[in-house]
Amino acid sequence: MRSIAPLLALVLHCQDCVATPVSFVKRLAALPREQPQLFGASVTCVKTAAADVLTQTAGLGRGWSELDWRRIGVFALFGALYLGGVQYALFMKIYPRLLPLASTYAAMNWRAKLADGRGFASVLAQVALDQGLHWPFAAIPCFYLFKGLGEGESIGATGRALRQNWSSDVLACWAFWLPADAVSFGVLPLHWQVPFAAAVSFAYTSFVSFRRGERLASE
């Protein structure tokens, strides 16, 4: 309940917020800093579902009545639990403990960053950790697991699809996320890193959804 209290307060005081829109904007803008886990999970859930809706309508040519809501639900669940939950733990807890200089570097001004070679090296190490271990060996397999379970596929079919597509998916992941991680880890404060990743991953999720949107058994 403590984690949703700021959101409830925001809704319950909406009349005051209408009267004072500046106050409403300030309270809304404070949510990422005050409740980063809740804010990040909410953004990634909605974003991932919206990306698949866009893919089904614009990419696959389906009308609204033809949308596969089970598939959309799988993407939304993946967005909330993994992208919002696991990424929160990585960005806010694990990475800062493993590479504290990277978090300090992100909060510096540009003049200080230019003089901090060790901090810059820590950011590069964090990018390498995220793209060398996290995405290839955790995020991408987890995506296939969620998708397979949501579509009723067997573990064997899910594993075969993962093995078949893993190399190309990793390369596509790096094309999106190497530059994005450099900006996220090197420029943004911690509480904005998950929302920023959600914004970038809208395009990435749409791309992956379009490429891997059909049932695993057909791949």
For residue 116, give every residue at least 6 positions away whose Cβ sits within 8 Å of its Cβ, in sequence order, or none.
105, 108
37 neighbors 92 (Cβ within 8 angstroms): yes
Q: What is the pLDDT of residue 10?
A: 47
Rg from Cα positions in the chain: 19
Q: What is the pLDDT of residue 156?
A: 92
- What the block records as the tokens of 167 is 């190399």
Backbone angles phi, psi at 107, to 5 degrees: -85, -5
Q: What is the pLDDT of residue 211?
A: 66
| Secondary structure of 72-99 in HEC code, one letter for each residue | HHHHHHHHHHHHHHHHHHHHHHHHHHHC
What count of other Cβ atoms lies within 10 Å of the Cβ of residue 181? 25
Helix (H, G, I), strand (E, B) or coil at 189: coil
- What the block records as the tokens of 123 is 């950011």
Q: Give the separation between CA 207 and CA 211, rounded to whole angstroms.
A: 6
**Per-residue pLDDT of the chain in tens (219 residues, 90 and over written 9):** 444 455 445 444 544 544 466 665 566 566 566 666 677 777 788 888 888 788 788 777 889 888 888 888 888 888 888 888 888 888 888 998 999 998 889 888 888 988 999 999 999 999 999 999 999 999 999 988 887 877 778 899 999 999 999 999 899 899 889 999 999 999 888 778 877 887 887 777 677 766 665 543 333
Q: What is the pLDDT of residue 49?
A: 86
